[in-house]
Amino acid sequence: MVLIKEAGSILPGLFLRDFITIRIITFSIINENTTISTLSLAILGLITQKPRSGYDLRKVFSTTPMGHFSSSPGAIYPALKRIEKNGWIRGSIDHNKALRPRRIYRITAKGLDALRQHLLQTVTQDDVIWRMDNLILRFAFMDEVLGRECTLKFLEEFLAETKSHVCSLRQYQDQIKGIIPATGRLAMENGINNYEINARWAERAIKELAKD
């Protein structure tokens, strides 16, 4: 951790970056070690549900909350090309569309395997801190692709790692009490509250899905 001197005191200069600001700014950033980017994950998941054209995908991203996972409508077509090049999807012309035939994409066996492997990854605290959007997207497709048992396991891991991170944040908050300004303290409280909300959501989700 980088320390800076201010008004005769030593302040943890990156505490907001580490625990609050970066949590908001990087909500959509993909870690370079993630095997499938969040946009690719969204596209694969949607095509797994049913074959779709690029236009169909653009419509989903532009008219639903899924738009959060795409930086722009124009990003979808290059992503489709990359995914198809990986062999995860296969496009074919649908000649039933008389006026304007469209290229329809379907998941391949290789793509389904890649999706399953991504969804099966163990939830880590780094995921909770840096890749929350990817986690929630994994959850959205998980039940249909992997089944209920794997979904509940994911939620239990998510809950445990989130609670652990909240505990670490609370400990850090106690350490810097009286050092940071009121605005910094309140900003950090907001970040912690968001993690606590996610933990409560996971608890409710576990109870609801365990009943089915």
Q: How many structural domains does the chain have?
A: 1
Spatial separation of the C-alpha atoms in residues 72 and 82, rounded to whole Å: 16
Q: What is the pLDDT of residues 107-165, one digit of tens each?
A: 999 999 999 999 999 999 999 999 999 999 999 999 999 999 999 999 999 999 999 99
Q: What is the pLDDT of residues 38-97, one digit of tens each?
A: 999 999 999 999 999 999 999 999 999 888 887 677 899 999 999 999 999 999 998 776
Q: Are 77 and 54 in contact (CB under 8 A)?
A: yes
Domain limits at 147? 3-27+36-211
pLDDT at 98: 60
Q: What is the pLDDT of residues 169-205, one digit of tens each?
A: 999 999 998 899 999 999 999 999 999 999 999 999 9
Neighbours of 27 (CB within 10 A): 12
Q: Are 36 and 30 in contact (CB under 8 A)?
A: no
CATH number, domain at 57?
Answer: 1.10.10.10
pLDDT at 68: 86
